Amino acid sequence: MMKAEIFDFYKGKKVLVTGHTGFKGTWLIKILVMAGADVTGYALEPPTDPSLFKLSGLEDKIHSVIGDIRDFNHLNQVMDEFQPEIVFHLAAQPIVLTSYKNPRYTYETNVMGTVNICEAVRLHESVKSFLNITTDKVYKNNEWCWGYREDEYLDGFDPYSNSKSCSELVTHSYVNSFFGGNKDGSKVAVSTARAGNVIGGGDFADNRIIPDAIRSMTKSYREQDKTAVIEVRNPYSTRPYQHVLEPLYIYLLIAEKQYMNINYAGNYNVGPDDCDCIRTGELIDLFCKQWNSGDRTYPVATWVTHAPKDTPHEANFLKLDCSKIKSIFDWTPRWHIDDCIRKTVDFTKVLISCPNNLESEMENEINDFFKLDD
């Protein structure tokens, strides 16, 4: 399927997105708006200030509901009013280090939030396709050098990863117990998507490598030699990095395919090719190289290792086996790591120098990725 054909499917569809004010959620609703979907978002206020959601101008282009995924009555009321056909569940506490600081909130949001959205879907026969977005960290990580497959054991180590493992189990239980058929004989197609680390323009979250790098440069800028030093916590950890539009395309494709044919419903790893599973230090090398190229208006970026004492456990090696999704959907990643970094740096420089151009920059990247102008 040509990527642009997805836009034809979503035109006029009623789509609910939880977590729409976050980084990935904002990019997702931007795609849906461009496709002509009727979008309702349900989320807390944007988790960062500034936020891509506020800067993008999308707040006035969808029905944006500020609400807590832990509040079932409010969520169910929104479902009653909107009667969505397709639901994307992205609302979560998404940061590993934050989960160590506030584990109870993490579990309440990521586990009971999943229970709430599954229950709301169960009670609304309008829903034909439901996708729960989790993480590559749901697997019990044995630090293997090969990628985890969808049938591997689920047992995330830290509170965030473990809560997402639980979210998978909750979804699986609802599939077995309730989503086999509605009163009218129809079925709800349900999948989970386990995505790797995403990078892209407009991410302002704490404890993510590229936003941390950009903030680190701002704090360490030295006027005398026009340089800035990025502090990297663990340059030797290996992660699967992909541009944010890569998994969003697959989310849209899974939801569409299972809407048309429930046999596509299942669990899917969504990650980059092996060549894009790299060490954090390599990623920052690429970032500095791209940042330092061209315009000399910006400080020269360098980096050093800085590991604070008593840093909580994080996996050193993590990789997904994505052969299932590649085989079933005939999919291959479009942008590799060099492209991801270039797009992210270019977006960030637009954000710094011409923030009024942010909306058109998002549209240009989406047009480029989905080949809408071909």
Task: Tell me the pLDDT of the chain averaged across its residues.
Answer: 91
Residue 264 CB neighbours (<10 A): 19
Joined together, the tokens standing for residue 65 give 């509901």
d(CA 265, CA 271): 18
Q: Following CA atoms 352, 245, 211, 314 in sequence, which dihedral angle do they give, to the nearest 10 degrees?
A: 180
Mean pLDDT to the nearest integer, 72-89: 98
Among 26-30, 256-260, 271-275, 354-358, name the one with the lowest average pLDDT. Answer: 354-358
Taking each continuous run of H as one helix and of E as one strand, the counts in the chain are 14, 12
Determine the pLDDT at residue 373: 59
Radius of gyration of the chain (CA): 20
CATH code, 9-195+242-275+317-340:
3.40.50.720
Determine the pLDDT at residue 223: 62
Joined together, the tokens standing for residue 95 give 């940061």
**Looking up tokens 């992909």, which residue turns up?**
242
d(CA 244, CA 196): 10
d(CA 61, CA 30): 9
- Spatial neighbors of 15 by CB under 8 A, at least 6 apart, are 32, 37, 38, 39, 40, 84, 85, 86, 87, 88
pLDDT (tens digit, 9 = 90+) per residue, 115-145?
A: 999 999 999 999 999 999 999 999 999 888 7
Nearest to 41 by CA among 75, 92, 12: 75
The domain spans of the chain are 9-195+242-275+317-340
d(CA 13, CA 15): 6
pLDDT (tens digit, 9 = 90+) per residue, 198-251?
A: 999 999 988 888 998 888 776 665 665 678 888 888 888 888 899 999 999 999
